[in-house]
Each structure stands twice: as structure tokens, then as C-alpha cells.
Amino acid sequence: MTADAPARAGEGAGRPVDGVLLDIDDTLVDTRGAFAVALTAAASAFLPHVTADRHAEMLQVWRADGGDHYRRYTRGEIGYRDQRFARANELQRVFGGEPLDDQAYARWDAIFEDGFAGAWAAHEEASEVVDRLLDHGLAVGALSNAGVEYQTTKLRRVGLADRVEVLVGVDTLGVGKPDPAVFLEACRRLGTEPARTAYVGDELDVDALGAVAAGLVGVWVDRPGPRRVDVPPEDLTAARAAGVHVVTTLAELPVVLGVDVRG
């Protein structure tokens, strides 16, 4: 295949795709890195006895969200502030800090959010990959389990908002992934058939398997480094058998989706 005879969209995925929907946090944006900055800032004020060598552990506890607070938020069971308040107090509990009351939490959140938003950055390959997908004529949009306005601000800050519109957030329908309704609504807004749309995200269950269950092509971004939650090998085998594609960087997407015209 040559550059003047480009691949038809999607041949590499086993079935054609006309569009790609992307998750934002830890998919397009290095949210893990931004959380590390935010948690370090919050800890310096509220967990001053926790030494720097334990900050990685703190990040792991935060990301694992053992109380499932963020997922309860994405299921519409609790509010955004409720989930973050609960997670902040979980961190205080695990690392031996004082429980936060409303007032203390307001200060905690201001420090955390300032550090978090100040550290937002796209993954280094994200911009180029988005360009390649668009150049190939694919429709590209974002579907996220956070709010549309917040995520649009985030994409603007990292330089992707001009090319990637946040089509659906958790506030669009009042629920998030893996509810099939949000995947289908994002496809409708993207203008592509679900069966001809790939969904790309860093969480195997809510992203890749959720997408497959909704009838899309599911792609799991399994970046190097500690996983947010443990994924047993048998779960990965089952996911692959269900049709999930696994990549370690977005740079592999054009090949997986069959839009790599260099070959």
C-alpha cells in the first residue's frame, strides 16, 4: 500500500471504522501526572508528615479509588463534590491525617484543583495521532465520564480543543460509561454508526469492554507504569476474545484502525 493508494478506513481493526471516539483522562491527557502534582500540593498542607517517598503510594490510593466513589458519581448516585470529598477523606484516613470537615475540604479542594489544572498536559503523541486520524478522513470526538464544560476547558488548555470536541460527558445524559446509552449518543453526535466507530480509553472495563458491549470497536490503552486497578491475565484474555484491541500508546492507533498509509 502506498501513500497515493491509502488504506480504506478501519481495515486493520477487522471491520471498517468511519470515526474514533476518545476518552480524555489518561488517554489524551496525562491525568496521572497531573494528579501526582495535585496530591503533592494537597499533602503538603494536609498530610505534612507524609514524606516524598510515599507520594507514589498516595497516587496509587487516589487512582484506585477503593471506595468506588467516582464510579458512583458516573452512575448518577452521588454528586461530583460528594465523590471528591469522600476520596479526599479516604486519603486522610489511609495516610493518618485529620478528617476534613466542610471548611477544611474547601481549602483542600482549592489547593488540589489549582495543582491539578496547572499540570494538565496532553500525552506527547496525542496531537500527532489526532491529526493523522483526521487527515485520513475519520470523524474524531471525545466521550468522557467527567463534565462536558470541565473537559472542554481541559482540552483547550492542552491544545486539542480545536480538533477534538467533547461530544458527551457524564452530565449529558446523567450517567457515564459503561452505560451503552452514552456510547450510542456519542456516535449519534459524531455522525457515525456504532459498529463503524472505535472507542479508545485507558480503562478496560468501562472503556473498551463497555464500547464492545454497546456495539463499537473497543480499544484499550494500556500504558506502561502501574495500572489504576489490577487486571488479571484471564480478564485480558477474555477481553481480547471479546474483540478488544490493546495498545500501549495512541501512536499504535493508526495501525490498529487500519489508517496507517505508510506501509
Instruction: Please give the residue ranges that form the binding site for Mg ion (CB under 5 A).
Output: 23, 25-26, 202
C-alpha cell at 6: 491509502
Burial class (CB in 10 A: 0-12, 13-18, 19+), 237: exposed
Q: Which is nearer to Mg ion, 151 or 192 (CB)?
A: 151
Q: Do residues 245 and 220 make contact, with C-beta atoms less than 8 angstroms apart? A: yes
What radius of gyration do the chain's Cα atoms show?
Answer: 19
Q: Which is nearer to Mg ion, 50 or 158 (CB)?
A: 158
Q: How far is the CB of 179 from Mg ion (least distance, A)?
A: 16
**Could you give the angle at the alpha carbon of 210 between the alpha carbons of 245 and 230, nearest 5°?**
70
Q: Which is nearer to Mg ion, 26 or 30 (CB)?
A: 26
Q: How far is the CB of 147 from Mg ion (least distance, A)?
A: 14
CA 119 to chain centre: 16
Angle between helices 80-94 and 31-46 (to 10 degrees): 60
Q: Which is nearer to Mg ion, 32 or 196 (CB)?
A: 32
Q: Which is nearer to Mg ion, 70 or 108 (CB)?
A: 70
Q: How far is the CB of 194 from Mg ion (least distance, A)?
A: 20
> Residue with the closest Cβ to Mg ion?
25
Q: Do residues 225 and 213 make contact, with C-beta atoms less than 8 angstroms apart? A: no
Q: How far is the CB of 184 from Mg ion (least distance, A)?
A: 19
Q: Which is nearer to Mg ion, 100 or 200 (CB)?
A: 200
* Residues near 186 by beta carbon (within 8 Å), at least 6 away in sequence: 21, 141, 143, 167, 168, 199
Q: How far is the CB of 152 from Mg ion (least distance, A)?
A: 16
Q: How far is the CB of 130 from Mg ion (least distance, A)?
A: 16
C-alpha cell at 107: 481549602
